[in-house]
């Protein structure tokens, strides 16, 4: 039996145009939209690091320089905070630049998630790797990526995170068909990109976390443009299934889709309600506001 390789690299695609949040995303990457005082992508990188990842590749595009600046050191600002004895703020700031190595690769044209992953092939090489979508936050005591890594270590095979989605929303997801081999774990038979509710094989949708064997790159290269005339990751997974097992795991935790306006608002409210400095005043505000309505 082939020895299972450990996973220490992750790809974070962050090259999307963010059209659902225009006009603000005209000048700000959607991944930099703030959740209170940290941008969305901070939580994604944090999850990768907390899962044991020590080498991160972020796929960026035109107008995404703010992501690189955010994770870079800021000597002048740090010096000012030090002079003002704002030690707690300085510590938080330095923690950002102390994240493990982050590399940046540009996707010059928005040709889909599959094309974005291909940009990381030279860096990944012949290793298994994690993928974390840059606008999905998954909150749980054990990081979702770490949960998938545990499944990978048992089966030495690709694994994707899934959750139940409302039937009327299956057209926004890659929907799987498969057999449950143990609680919360499914061996995938097929996966379909954005089917209509009538043609969907289930209500289990792939969401923003994946572990892939390196053979996914060959599948991506052999994937024709699909929905939206883009290279769809779901279609590449469909090809991968011909020669390699792929599993789906119903992860523990709550997913926040910050790429959706309502999802973004829900994220801010939930995270504020967890903040000891904000929750009491926010509860009072919400209660008073709802009473007025």
Contact criterion met (CB below 8 Å) for 216 and 240: yes
Contact criterion met (CB below 8 Å) for 249 and 180: no
More confident residue, 228 or 240: 240
Which pLDDT score is estimated for 290?
A: 84
Token pair recorded at residue 280: 């009491």
List Cβ neighbours of 51 (8 Å cut-off, separation of 6 or more).
10, 130, 143, 145, 146, 149
Where does residue 215 rank: exposed (0-12), middle (13-18), buried (19+ CB within 10 A)?
Answer: middle
Where does residue 150 rank: exposed (0-12), middle (13-18), buried (19+ CB within 10 A)?
Answer: middle
Helical H runs in the chain?
Answer: 40-50, 65-71, 75-83, 87-97, 113-118, 121-124, 144-155, 216-221, 233-240, 261-274, 279-292
Q: How far apart are CA 213 and CA 162, in angstroms?
A: 18
CATH number of 9-259: 3.90.550.10
Q: How far apart are CA 211 and CA 43, in angstroms?
A: 18
Quick: pLDDT tens for 249-283. Answer: 999 999 999 988 999 999 999 999 999 999 999 99
Token pair recorded at residue 83: 């002079």
Which pLDDT score is estimated for 1?
A: 43
More confident residue, 67 or 230: 67
Contact criterion met (CB below 8 Å) for 32 and 39: yes
Name the pTM for this structure.
Answer: 0.92
Quick: pLDDT tens for 104-153. Answer: 999 888 788 999 999 999 999 999 999 999 889 999 889 999 999 999 99
Is the pLDDT at 204 greater than 60, yes or no?
Answer: yes
Percent of the chain surpassing pLDDT 90: 64
Quick one: how far is CA 41 from the chain centroid? 8
Residue 230 C-beta-side C-alpha neighbours within 13 Å: 19
Q: How confident is the model at residue 293 (pLDDT cuts 50, 70, 90)?
A: low
> Which part of the chain is CATH 3.90.550.10?
9-259
Quick: pLDDT tens for 152-189. Answer: 999 999 999 999 999 888 888 889 999 999 999 999 99
List Cβ neighbours of 141 (8 Å cut-off, separation of 6 or more).
none
Quick: pLDDT tens for 47-59. Answer: 999 999 999 999 9
Angle 286-292-293 (CA atoms, 0-180°, nearest 5)? Answer: 90
Residue 151 C-beta-side C-alpha neighbours within 13 Å: 30
Coil/strand/helix, residue 58: strand
Q: How far apart are CA 166 and CA 197, in angstroms?
A: 9
Please give the average per-residue pLDDT across 228-244, as a whole number. Answer: 89
């Amino acid at each position: 039996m082939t020895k299972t390789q450990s996973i220490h690299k992750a790809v974070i695609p962050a090259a999307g145009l963010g059209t659902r949040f225009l006009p603000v995303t005209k000048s700000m990457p959607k991944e930099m939209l703030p959740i209170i005082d940290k941008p969305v992508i901070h939580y994604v990188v944090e999850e990768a690091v907390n899962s044991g990842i020590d080498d991160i590749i972020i796929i960026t595009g035109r107008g995404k320089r703010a992501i690189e600046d955010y994770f870079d050191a800021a000597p002048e600002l740090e010096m000012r905070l030090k002079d003002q004895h704002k030690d707690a703020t300085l510590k938080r700031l330095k923690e950002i630049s102390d994240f493990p190595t982050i590399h940046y690769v540009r996707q010059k044209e928005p040709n889909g998630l599959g094309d974005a992953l291909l940009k990381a092939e030279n860096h990944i090489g012949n290793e298994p790797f994690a993928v974390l979508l840059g606008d999905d936050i998954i909150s749980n005591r054990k990081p979702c990526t770490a949960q998938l890594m545990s499944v990978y270590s048992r089966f030495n095979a690709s694994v994707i995170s899934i959750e139940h989605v409302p039937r009327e929303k299956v057209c926004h997801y890659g929907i799987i068909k498969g057999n449950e081999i143990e609680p919360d774990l499914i061996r995938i038979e097929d996966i379909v990109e954005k089917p209509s509710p009538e043609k969907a094989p289930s209500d289990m949708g792939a969401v923003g976390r994946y572990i892939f064997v390196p053979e996914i790159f060959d599948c991506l290269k052999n994937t024709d443009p699909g929905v939206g005339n883009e290279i769809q990751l779901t279609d590449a997974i469909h090809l991968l299934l011909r020669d390699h097992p792929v599993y789906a795991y119903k992860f523990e935790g709550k997913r926040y889709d910050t790429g959706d306006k309502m999802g973004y608002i829900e994220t801010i409210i939930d995270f504020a309600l967890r903040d000891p400095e904000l929750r009491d005043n926010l509860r009072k505000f919400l209660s008073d506001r709802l009473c007025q309505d």
